[in-house]
Amino acid sequence: MFALFPYIRNITYYLMFATVLGMFAPAGKYKKFVSLVMGFVLLALILQPLARFGHGEIPITDWFSGIFPQEVADDDWERAYLRWRNTYLRGAFEDQLTMQLNSLLSEFTVHSSEFTYSDDFSQITGVWVTVSREEAENRRVPFIRIQPVQVGQQAEACETAELVKNLIAEFYNLSKNHIYVTVS
């Protein structure tokens, strides 16, 4: 793969040189001759690697060394497949958990959620979620509003957190000690 970049670079430089030379070539019969010679040189540049392969100077495996590994053991392929499969399964599993959590907590706005689970995706070991209550009506908010912290709001947040913990613990059959809820 790395041998391909200088090859393409050389052809690109030659084409730029040929374009500039073609602009300065005298008009008439010499311009056709210059174009013909430049075309032959370009053809020689393009075919140069094929001549090297024919004479055995450059083995074809070296040309594509960046693309194909030289020697790959069977267990490397298996590990690569397992990594790909686990990445895919992890993404699908987390998407499924997020959808379940959003539908479970439909009366709340879920701002963020994070799950921990076993390596084989068979058991959820922890849930971190940030929720808030949706406001039913759009109230007119003044330009500057200072709202003191009220004890009732803190109690409501605790009740909301406890309600969310109960819902998640019941749905996922998980201990409340492994569920962390933040109410914003």
What are the residue ranges spanned by the domains of the chain? 4-71, 95-136+150-183
Query: So what's the pLDDT on residue 144?
Result: 54
Tens digit of pLDDT for each residue in 142-159?
A: 555 555 545 555 667 788
Contact 129, 181 (CB under 8 A): yes
Q: What percent of the chain has pLDDT over 70?
A: 72
Q: What CATH class has 95-136+150-183? A: alpha beta
Judged against a pLDDT cut of 50, whether residue 23 lies above it is answered with: yes
3-class SS of residue 127:
strand
Tens digit of pLDDT for each residue in 83-92?
A: 888 888 888 8
- Could you give the CA distance from residue 175 to residue 166 in angstroms, rounded to a whole number? 9
Kindly state the average pLDDT of the residues 11-36: 83
3-class SS of residue 170:
helix
Number of H helices, E strands in the chain: 5, 3
Query: So what's the pLDDT on residue 51?
Result: 66
Kindly state the average pLDDT of the residues 17-35: 81
